């Protein structure tokens, strides 16, 4: 059951990240052409690239790794589970920072971002549960 849930969360997170990357690219191109709405959009701020690359690109990497590990049952291996757990914990920390930035620095409510943060939390809770069960 954990494996199935991890796969579903990974697919959802990957899809969300992929669509976000597409939107960010489109807005970036519109901003380069001088569209004032696109230039002022929050995806053009430094918070959209908290660690350098687009946050959504990093999300695709993480959710892709999670999905591959869950689909191939590698998620049951202690070393893989531990790596995903620490990656998820880091991702959750970044999510909390970005949520703070959205709400208090940029004063933006982004439903897509909120779904991404909720997915990060759900993955973390699942991995915590899986780690406790494997001991």
Q: Say which CATH architecture domain 2-133 belongs to.
A: Up-down Bundle (1.20)
Tally of CA atoms within 13 A in the half-sphere of 40 that contains its CB: 5
The DSSP call for residue 86 is: H
CB within 8 Å of 129: residues ≥ 6 apart = 2
Closest CA to 60 of 1, 131, 119: 119
77: helix, strand or coil: coil
pLDDT for residue 112: 94
pTM of the model: 0.91
Q: How far apart are CA 49 and CA 53, in angstroms?
A: 5
Mean residue pLDDT of the chain comes to: 94
Residue 135 has pLDDT above 70, yes or no: no
Sequence spans of domains, the chain: 2-133
Q: In this model, does residue 88 exceed pLDDT 70?
A: yes
């Amino acid at each position: 059951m954990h494996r199935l849930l991890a796969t579903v969360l990974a697919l959802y997170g990957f899809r969300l990240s992929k669509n976000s990357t597409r939107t960010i690219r489109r807005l970036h191109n519109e901003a380069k052409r001088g569209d004032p709405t696109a230039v002022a959009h929050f995806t053009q701020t430094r918070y959209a690239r908290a660690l350098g690359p687009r946050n959504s690109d990093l999300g695709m990497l993480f959710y892709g790794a999670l999905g591959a590990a869950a689909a191939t049952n590698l998620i049951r291996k202690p070393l893989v589970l531990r790596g995903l757990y620490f990656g998820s914990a880091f991702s959750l920390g970044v999510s909390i920072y970005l949520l703070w930035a959205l709400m208090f620095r940029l004063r933006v409510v982004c439903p897509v971002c909120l779904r991404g943060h909720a997915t990060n939390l759900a993955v973390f809770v699942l991995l915590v549960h899986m780690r406790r069960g494997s001991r």
